[in-house]
Structure 1
Amino acid sequence: MTFHIIGIGNKTPDFTTEQQQNILDTLFFSGGKRHYELVKDYLPENHEWITIQSPMSQVFEAYEKATVPIIVFASGNPLFYGFSNTLKNKYPDAEIITTPYFGSIQLLANAMNLNSNHLQTISVHGRSWKALDAILIQQNESIGVLTDAEKTPAIIAKRLLEYGYDNYVMLVGEDIEGEQEKFQELALQKASTMKFYSLNCVILKKTAHRQIDFGIKDADFKGLPGRPKMITKMPVRLTTLHYLNVLNVDTLWDIGFCTGSVSVEAKLKNGDLDIIAFEKRPECKAILAENQKRFGVPGIQIVMGDFFEQDLTQFAKPEAIFIGGHGGRLEELFLKITPVLKLETCIVINAVKESSVQAFKAGCDKIGYTIIEESVLSLDEYNTITLLKAIKLRSKTK
């Protein structure tokens, strides 16, 4: 299969002589309905048009029936969150020739005279918030965002304000190169109340750096009412994150999150980390949500209820597990998590009581795990903490 992907803007294209001849020599064309309106006058009379729309299975079926090259018209640079990448994934052996146009974020940056040296672009178009959350935590100088009908500039502005990122302003481009083209620089508060033309994109420009400590002070967290010491203390927390190897794993389970201090600090260290936080006490949900907002940490999945009653198969399998609470059922907890463990999953606990240390070791024995790190930390007047990390050692082949 051969695809010629031609990137176009939001206006009648100015094709080269070679492109025009290639179009006249082609029978099958594809693109969105909007693209068709822009290019239809250039197409040969006997052309066949395959509209790119849901369900995509029908689009691919039409492609596969065509025995000749197909010209696909796509917006901007089809190699940047675009259709060329879709085709590469679907047809890895196909010949895909891409001629890019300016992307919408490039056009917005140019129109606003923005220094693009440090511009980093992500997409929330038909996607989750994960990429935006991660790049916000990094506090990049300028962030391009490809939007969609649900994740609009107003909704994006509200999300930034919710998590305290008022240190950004928003540049919005609407109907770029179209009849209703408009460019604006807006404060987030104002942008959050506005409606925008359906075709738009955004650049978030940082105006100041939001300072968050590397190792958040315990007193800065919202804690359990009447139990201010019920938190993983900062030095212990940072050692725990080291044990959990949070910079190099994709998914962390925080079992018994309480105030959420471990989850919050882990997400700050690795914005791409998926965190699933479990807790039984109802009041802890609001506490974690508040701490997420205090420290700018969106994207933690909160699961409330008795952990032992959860269907764990519905969650992404963890590469690291932190046991912050177990209700005195530690050995039983090991049996509960066994079906979802991956070969590389590590398990970490901070134990105050010697009985918990022994129960952790017994649980490891039951599921074939080995303690590889053990530290004892004593901090001020607090109880001595034993940190334990266990993994499943790979058997040696003869």
Structure 2
Amino acid sequence: MDRRLPPVAAGLLWAVTACSGRTQATAPAELQPPPLCEASECNSQGMQALGLQRPDEALRLLDRACSLGHAIGCSNLAGVYRGGVGGAPKDPPRAVGLYDRSCRLGFAEACATVGTMLSEGTAVPADPPRALGMFEQACAKQDAFACFTAGLFYETGRGMPARDPARATRSFEQACGLGHATGCFNAGILLYDEAAGGAGENARAVELFARACDGAQPAGCLRQGLAALRGVGTAADANKAASLFARACEGGDGDACGLAEQLKKSRGRKIEVALTSRAPALTMAGLTVHELSCRMAQTDPLALAEALEGVAAHKAALDACAPAGAAVAVAWTYRGGRAALVRVDGADPRLAGCVRKAALRARSSLSASCAATLLIGEAAGARKALAERSSASSPARPLAQAR
């Protein structure tokens, strides 16, 4: 995901802070004179003090910067409470309040950071509707990551009553215009419809795939190549398709490598296409999964969500397998309208058997092979189990974006 990290500071909270609104007993005033600097100067001096391992001084300076309306000063102060670096105690709820103040003062990345914290639900309770609102605010302030993430919310219906693909497309296109290559790709995916799409929409989708490809998103090159191979939204051109598949392959897309090889051997004959679609995290019908991956012939925008939807329909049965919470790695296929070949990895036999039985009840019109880590049972326990799984695996693999 194209994302710059917001400025983050670390240290200890001074006992009296104007931004926090919390007052406690302090040392005598003559021992801690209030800073006299202007807002931007206080912020700069505060960050320098953090680097010199003087957290009390740093936080008094950052607090003054925030009190004087310095947006980045508030964000830096929030970073202290969020990260607890340098021996400072963590206080995520206070961090959320400070990031929110920074957001209201105009710092887009602070809005997006609040959205991320409320979306993840690890440091503070998850609140998808509020998270979406924060991403929308950041997007309105021209933050590409926030526009992209808001698009993911609209596409899956998270934090809102139902999915809104049209709104998702607009949000992804806005991210694309701000330089987010995966935003270009996702907008193209939502517009592209080989069977029923209008010529104008397919042509627009191909342009977006091209922008994603030029932005070093291999999946964009792959989809642009498929459009050229089939003559959808652009002129049919097998040579151009081969070149684009090779480019995507060089970028690390395994599906593109396979298609390039098939095309080379086909001698003009039609080739069968099966693509791997991925999402780092996805929630459907209340079931959250991580590292969802499905290989399937379907290329419509919501196929990945549909692949999860069949399993999510049996969330209650899955939750009953581990009421205290668990993160379970599951692989399954859809054949003939139902789930088959369900495999559960790394779980005790009782849990594995229960999850397998529930997953076998899934139904879908897709033909697909999928794998994901399912978060089941009590949410906090499931997130803790996921964190333990993640820390035990090494090295961590980079996550691909939703296709």
Q: State if a TM-score over 0.5 links the two structures.
A: no
Choose between structure 1 and 2: higher strand proportion: 1
TM-score (norm 2): 0.30
TM-score (norm 1): 0.30
Larger Rg: 1
Q: Higher RCO, 1 or 2 (CA under 8 Å, sep at least 6)?
A: 1
